[in-house]
Amino acid sequence: MNTGMLKYIGLGALLLWFVIAGRLFCGRACPLGFIQELLYKIPFWVKIKTFKFDRPLRVLKYAHFVYNFVLPALVVLGFLKAFEAHEMGTPFYIVLAVIAVIIRRPFCKYVCAIGAASSLFNKFSWYRYKMIDGQCVKCGICTKKCPMNIIPYTMKNSPECIRCGICKRICPKKAFAKNKEGAEYA
């Protein structure tokens, strides 16, 4: 079995995980996410929460996903003749590390191909967030703390949610439903 095939068997297993958990890995287990959180804790006089092109730039991670996985997959399946994805070099990651001191999780927001793929499952995966009707008072505490700059109480299954669980933990009203049997999430 060649390495190309192995790569796509691994990708199949990953897809199964995405169906179960959506973007949960990003917020709970990804080492790059952890490193970015540490970098963002470095004191710096400018910390940018959002900026004009924040939202449009988030589309880049999907382009990265197509370039790194979809196009090579078309080669393996015989739909494309020659295409070889090239990883970004060390200088790119150094620049990104510097940006991560100022902007929280730039790799997750703008670059990560795996994050892009798993984000597509957030709305449909078994593990989803549900809120208890009438419990949220829209105090905005969760919005201030969200590392991905989304509004947890209206965008709880947004593709941008990395399932870090911060909003659930800090909500003073305990507005997010508990996962007793899994099916409670919707």
CA 184, CA 186: separation in Å to the nearest integer?
6
15 binds ligand SF4 per the rule CB under 6 A: no
Least Cβ distance, residue 47 to ligand SF4 (angstroms): 17
**Span interacting with ligand SF4, options 60-68, 74-82, 100-108, 132-140, rule CB under 6 A:** 132-140
129, 146 contact by CB (below 8 A): no
Give 64 or 168: the residue with its C-beta nearer to ligand SF4.
168
CA within 13 Å, CB half, 81: 0
Residues whose CB falls within 8 Å of the CB of residue 58, separated by 6 or more in sequence, listed in order: 109, 110, 160
Where in 50-79 is the site for ligand SF4 (CB under 6 A)? none
* Residue among 61, 96, 142, 159 that touches ligand SF4 (CB under 6 A): 142
Query: What are the two backbone dihedrals, phi and then psi, of residue 22, each rounded to the nearest 5 degrees?
Result: 55, -130
Quick note: the x/- pattern for ligand SF4 over 143-162, rule CB under 6 A, is ---xxx-x-xx-------xx
132 binds ligand SF4 per the rule CB under 6 A: no
* Residue among 41, 49, 138, 178 that touches ligand SF4 (CB under 6 A): 138
- H/E stretch holding 34: helix 31-40
Least Cβ distance, residue 172 to ligand SF4 (angstroms): 6
**Span interacting with ligand SF4, options 33-41, 44-52, 108-116, 131-139, rule CB under 6 A:** 131-139
**Within 48-165, where are the H helices?**
54-57, 60-65, 71-76, 90-102, 106, 113-119, 141-145
CA 156, CA 131: separation in Å to the nearest integer?
8
Residues whose CB falls within 8 Å of the CB of residue 67, separated by 6 or more in sequence, listed in order: 85, 113
Quick note: the x/- pattern for ligand SF4 over 19-48, rule CB under 6 A, is --------x---------------------
Binding site for ligand SF4 (CB under 6 A): 27, 136-142, 146-148, 150, 152-153, 161-167, 171, 173, 175
